[in-house]
Amino acid sequence: MSGQVYFEDVHEGDSIPALVKGPLERIQLVKYAGASGDFNPIHVDEVYAQAAGMKSVFAHGMLSMAFVGQMLTDWMGPLGELKRFQVRFSAVAWPGDVITSTGTTVRHWEEKGEGLVELALESKSQEGTVTVKGAACVRLPRRSA
């Protein structure tokens, strides 16, 4: 968590601070199953996951999305407001993976006096595999306001 970012300080093409998570541990998948209520055994039961043809258990997609959400809330500060947040899961994240999430401002505009920013989002594993691609729209406070 850092200070407050303001609409006037952001420009199209700017990157926001990346967030590195992991290495992912199996225990985190168990905790996430409990906290989210998603008990699909493919995320927590190695025997079941392998019987289903996977090399091991793997992270819930929503855990990968939560990492991106953490990057966004860290960046936008307590006065920022997340309006829309969308992701596509392009590959699963495995135990041991280190996931780096990044975001870039692709649009910066005013609407009804509000300062809005559209971000392109991506997460990659240490091997460069893209696990998540997405977009978010954030309202940022204005210095003048």
Partner 1 sequence: MVGRKSLPAKNVIERGAIRRFAEAIGDPHPLWVDEDYARSTRFGGIVAPPTFAVSLQVGSNVREGLPIDLTKILHGEMEFEYFRPLRAGETLFCQAEIVDFYTKEGKSGQMSFLVTETRGVDANGELVYKSRSTTLIRS
Q: Where along the sequence are the contacts to partner 1 (CB under 8 A)?
A: 1, 21, 28, 31-32, 34-38, 40-42, 48, 51-53, 60-63, 65-67, 69-70, 72-74, 78-79, 81-89, 92
From the CB of 144, what's the least distance to partner 1, in Å?
Answer: 18
Q: Which is nearer to partner 1, 69 or 103 (CB)?
A: 69
From the CB of 60, what's the least distance to partner 1, in Å?
Answer: 7
Q: Which is nearer to partner 1, 70 or 104 (CB)?
A: 70
Structure tokens at 128: 């460069």
Residue 75 identity: W
From the CB of 56, what's the least distance to partner 1, in Å?
Answer: 14
From the CB of 139, what's the least distance to partner 1, in Å?
Answer: 10
In terms of phi and psi (left: phi > 0; alpha: psi -120 to 50; beta: otherwise), the region of 91 is beta
Give the integer Cα–Cα distance in Å for 139 and 108: 10
Q: Which is nearer to partner 1, 32 or 94 (CB)?
A: 32
Q: Which is nearer to partner 1, 11 or 30 (CB)?
A: 30
> Exposed/middle/buried for 39, CB within 10 Å: 0-12, 13-18, 19+?
exposed
Q: Which is nearer to partner 1, 52 or 130 (CB)?
A: 52
Q: Which run of H or E residues covers position 108?
A: strand 99-111
Residue 72 identity: L
The answer to whether 63 touches 33, Cβ cutoff 8 Å, is: no
